[in-house]
Structure 1
Amino acid sequence: MSRLYASLFYQKDVTDIFSDRSLLKYLMTTEIALAKAQALVGVIPQAAAQGIEQVCTTQGLEKLNENALATAGGLAGNIAIPFVKQLTALVKASDEDASRYVHWGATSQDVLDTACILQCRDALVIIQAQLEQAYDTALAQAKVYRHQIMMGRTWLQQALPITFGHKLARWASVFRRDLNRIEAMRARVLTAQLGGAVGSLASLNDQGTAVVAAFEAQLNLTEPLCTWHGERDRIVEIASVLGLVVGNLGKMARDWSLLMQTEVGEVFEPMGEGRGGSSTMPHKRNPVAAASVLAAANRVPVLISSLYQSMVQEHERSLGGWHAEWLSLPEIFQLCSGALERTLDVLQGMQVNPENMQRNLECTNGLVMAEAVMMRLAPTLGRLNAHHLVESACKKAVDEQRHLKDVIAELDDIRHQFTGEQISDMFRPESYIGNIQDQIDAVLNEAGRQPG
């Protein structure tokens, strides 16, 4: 990603986790864990493990030649091969005996997969924290706006009244489900990889199982039942859950960007110096956060598709399929975290315009309350008769450009059986929002929040 665009789409901490330098750091962490695990089991000398750890933790990262690694990686087919060569040379300069045991019994994919899982684990911590913040903010805003009546819309048309708090409660419920998804997959996907050339760890003789157990314990990862070099469902599951998060954020961004339309004007992104302007039109207030989130929601499914396609791999280790993950997965993480950052910004600082919500409720001259009126008349007139009567009244109101309430009030079948106050009550939007308040309470109760 270009540095000029990074602030528009990404989030700095997650971007740092997937930087070149951080990848090398995670590879060193993996090599340290491998050496220490093998020393614990007795596969390599304890002194060798200490020598490897010493180099990796004291200026080892700074001594790596990243330019040489970049060039050699293109020739070798992955970055781990030249990385191990450089690391071995660094260890040899410090402790020749220890250098004999660098990367002992492992294959390139072992350290790259494990480093990737470590990156995912650290990035998921950040994304979970962002989701928690977004969840808490949406809950708080749902309480604030639970009684704020607004127009509910279906097929982009005015439908029936809802409350803005109900929309926010639905968003909060989505955040809760996303958090649950991440938590549910953790033990399943955050798994160490150590199998050697074909997954058998034959080079470790009869110590393979013990080394794998010690290896995952060193890294605090889940121990795999068997090698997963060619089975990429763990990587794809992580990406898929992030894809659900981004898709949910995209739905929210679509909503608030539509509410920002000039003719609607009900909710706005936060204001700020240089934010949302136009290069030619001084009056514009563009939904720039929504643009970033929607771009992520557009891009991430394509990236996930490449991961699904890459699951069809050959035998014990793949040609090309595994490699495709290196490009797609980091970007999915970065786009997801960036979209969360911008969504949280909007949730925390959004500007709500109740006057425009009320104006839009009235812009159809009461037509949006037609169903409510019909259902109030149905017990007295019968549902079908009430439907025909209200349908005819709606046509008359449109033709004569009058408020539906005035047309209804003139009908003999109505004015003889309902008082003026009862008719007015039929047209009160807040009287026709069903169980919305119960739904908001349920979302708040699930979070342990007192309904307000």
Structure 2
Amino acid sequence: MSQLYASLFYQADVTEIFSDRALLSYMIQAEVALAKAQAQVGVIPQSAAAIIAQASEQALDQIDMEALATATALAGNIAIPFVKQLTAIVKKTDEDASRYVHWGATSQDILDSACILQCRDALNHVESQLQQAYQIALAQAETYRHQVMIGRTWLQQALPITFGHKLARWASVFKRDLDRLHAMKARVLTVQLGGAAGSLASLLDQGSAVVEAYAAILELTAPHCTWHGERDRIVETAGVLAIIVGNLGKMARDWSLLMQTEIAEVFEPTAKGRGGSSTMPHKRNPVAAATILAAANRVPALMSSVYQSMVQEHERSLGAWHAEWLSIPELFKLCAGALERTIDVLQGIEVHPDAMQRNIECTHGLIMAEALMMALAPKIGRLNAHHLVETACQQAVAQQRHLKAVVIEISEINHYFSADQLEQIFEPASYLGNIQAQIDAVLQEAKGEAK
């Protein structure tokens, strides 16, 4: 992506993890770990592994990036020309040691292992962001737990809820996202080492031992068998990222709708130059929501590519694996960027209780029709109550009167309720169901996790 747009859609730390320079650093880390693992098992000399490790410390600054890019187009992947350059760098120190660079491995071993190392570091960052968002949403849910607003279904006013309930639902989403991320780590953060066709035949009878040592050095899980052609680990990682972005998109959709001029119940934080229009000085645009929704729009297409890449040929694929190189970094960068902007909004969100109250009252009591029906139903039956209240609603709309004023004049209703009782029935805060219990449950779950 253009650097002009990177600050709009991405997050700096995760973007750096997937930079070209960082990829080479992870590949060097994988090659050094491979040499150390083989030396531990006795496949290559200890001295060779030590020299490879020593020479690799400065290798990143010695790699010719331009030559690497040119050679990659011819080789079909970056690992082949990379290994040639790394071998030459080690050779400057010790020619004998250079013979053992990339011993018994194939290009995909190094690229997959480097990818998993990138995923691990990026997932740690995403996890930290999720935890921050979770804690902020919990605090805001507590702050606004009693702030009554209108709930909306099918984009229409429905029943009263509280803003704290909406925030508690968001907090609950962050908790589930964290749970998903934790649950998958042991499965997906797995080293790759199988050699040319997955058998590690080049390591004779030491293959399994080298894999175990390799995984331990890189602090990754050792697989039971090679997974060159089975990409479910990559897809599961991408899938969790896609769920996170989809959840953030739902939140952004909510607060952007609440920012509409006619609604004006919440607003994104203000800052100089934020959310303005090039032509309309009065505008206050939901710019964070726009970037999050753009990510949520882009991610499904990326996931489609990742899912399609699962269908691979035999032991190692042609083209399908290569498509991951484009999709996975983009998924991570969009996810981290969307999280960064969500955190910013959650921290600084502006809440307008007066607008929430105004919008509750704009239907002149119609939103309390269900409350009236349910209060009346035990006395005359639900269907009769529904018919009676529906007729009253139609009359209130036709006469442009408050529903309560109409109801007071209907003998079939005022026979059962006093004026004070009707006043209570029409109080939005009295018809919130178990919202407070739901908020308590979300908050209590978080306290239990903290113990």
TM-based fold match above 0.5: yes
Counterparts of 1:100 and 1:396 in 2: how far apart (Å)?
91
Q: Residues 275-424 of structure 1: matches in 2 within 5 Å?
A: 275-424=274-423
> CA-to-partner distance for each residue in 1:96-133, whole Å, 9 max, x for gaps?
11101000000000000000000000000000000000
Q: Kindly report the root-mean-square deviation, in angstroms, between the aligned alpha carbons of the 2 structures.
A: 0.9
Q: Residues 219-258 of structure 1: matches in 2 within 5 Å?
A: 219-258=218-257
Partner secondary structure for residue 447 of structure 1: helix
Runs of 4+ in 1 over 4 A off after TM superposition: none
Partner secondary structure for residue 158 of structure 1: strand
Q: Which residue of 1 aligns with 2:42?
A: 42
> CA-to-partner distance for each residue in 1:135-188, whole Å, 9 max, x for gaps?
000000000000100000000000011100000000000000000000000000
Q: Residues 28-67 of structure 1: matches in 2 within 5 Å?
A: 28-57=28-57, 59-67=58-66
Partner secondary structure for residue 150 of structure 2: strand
Counterparts of 2:169 and 2:416 in 1: how far apart (Å)?
39
Q: Which residue of 2 aligns with 1:156?
A: 155
Partner secondary structure for residue 196 of structure 1: coil
Q: Which residue of 2 aligns with 1:114?
A: 113
Counterparts of 2:161 and 2:24 in 1: how far apart (Å)?
52
What is the CA-CA distance between 1:381 and the residue it aligns to?
A: 2.4
Q: Which residue of 2 aligns with 1:25?
A: 25
2:355 alignment partner AA: N
> CA-to-partner distance for each residue in 1:390-431, whole Å, 9 max, x for gaps?
111111100110000000011112333321110111100011
With 373-382 and 282-291 compared, the bigger mean Cα shift is at: 373-382
What is the CA-CA distance between 1:288 and the residue it aligns to?
A: 0.2
Which 5+ residue runs of structure 1 have no aligned equivalent? none
Q: Residues 84-163 of structure 1: matches in 2 within 5 Å?
A: 84-163=83-162
- The alignment's TM-score, normalised by the length of structure 2, stands at 0.99
Counterparts of 1:384 and 1:101 in 2: how far apart (Å)?
83
Partner secondary structure for residue 294 of structure 2: helix
Task: Give the paired residue count.
Answer: 449
What is the CA-CA distance between 1:378 and the residue it aligns to?
A: 1.4
What is the CA-CA distance between 1:366 and the residue it aligns to?
A: 0.5
Q: Which residue of 2 aligns with 1:180?
A: 179
Counterparts of 2:265 and 2:48 in 1: how far apart (Å)?
66
Q: Which residue of 1 aligns with 2:201?
A: 202
Taking a change above 3 Å as real, the CA distance of residues 234 and 449 of structure 1, as seen in their structure-2 partners, is closer
Counterparts of 1:294 and 1:145 in 2: how far apart (Å)?
25
Q: Which residue of 2 aligns with 1:7?
A: 7
Which 5+ residue runs of structure 2 have no aligned equivalent? none
2:329 alignment partner AA: P
Partner secondary structure for residue 192 of structure 1: coil
Counterparts of 1:232 and 1:414 in 2: how far apart (Å)?
65
What is the CA-CA distance between 1:16 and the residue it aligns to?
A: 0.1
Counterparts of 2:84 and 2:383 in 1: how far apart (Å)?
82
> CA-to-partner distance for each residue in 1:280-327, whole Å, 9 max, x for gaps?
000000000000000000001100100110111011000000000000
What is the CA-CA distance between 1:387 and the residue it aligns to?
A: 1.3
Counterparts of 1:116 and 1:379 in 2: how far apart (Å)?
63
How many percent of aligned residue pairs carry the same amino acid?
73
Counterparts of 2:415 and 2:112 in 1: how far apart (Å)?
78
Counterparts of 2:229 and 2:406 in 1: how far apart (Å)?
71
What is the CA-CA distance between 1:449 and the residue it aligns to?
A: 7.2
Counterparts of 1:314 and 1:410 in 2: how far apart (Å)?
76
1:65 alignment partner AA: D
Counterparts of 2:99 and 2:383 in 1: how far apart (Å)?
88
With 407-416 and 312-321 compared, the bigger mean Cα shift is at: 407-416
1:89 alignment partner AA: A
2:4 alignment partner AA: L
- The alignment's TM-score, normalised by the length of structure 1, stands at 0.98
